[in-house]
Amino acid sequence: MLSGELDITSSDTAFGYVRDVIERHQMPVILNIASLSFCDARGLGTLVRMSNYAGRAGCSLWLAFPRPHLLKLMRITGLDSSLAIRGLQSAQPRPLNPALAVPEPRALIY
């Protein structure tokens, strides 16, 4: 779970944590971001880095339960069409872009 602020001071640590989980499990990962209270441009870039890293490792990364303000930023920047988002209102995977559908994740970061 990522909580608090995802910005210039926390982005590298957060990326390292998610990178380690991806390397350890090598399977689809759900990252719970429901407790992120703030995310700046660097934080958004880090979410993209995490997703890209997962893709290069042969798995997928789902961002679970984004708060409305973060979801709005993703829509404004167009990231909602390139990042897989899960659990907008339920626990069922529902990417904003249906082309991003992936198998049921097994590694959970909660």
Domain boundaries, the chain: 3-109
Residue 63 confidence (pLDDT) above 70: yes
C-alpha span between 94 and 15 (Å, rounded):
24
- Could you tell me the pTM of the whole model? 0.79
The residue count for the chain? 110
pLDDT tens profile 86-98: 876 444 444 444 4
pLDDT given for residue 100 in this prediction: 43
Query: 3-state SS of 69-109?
Result: HHHHHHHHHCHHHCCEEECCCCCCCCCCCHHHCCCCCCEEE
Q: Which of 3.30.750.24, 3.40.430.10, 3.40.800.20, 3.30.470.20 is the CATH number of 3-109?
A: 3.30.750.24
The 8-class DSSP code of residue 9 comes to T
The dihedral through the CA atoms of 67, 108, 19, 81 has a sign that is negative
Helix (H) or strand (E) holding 30: strand 29-32
pLDDT given for residue 103 in this prediction: 44
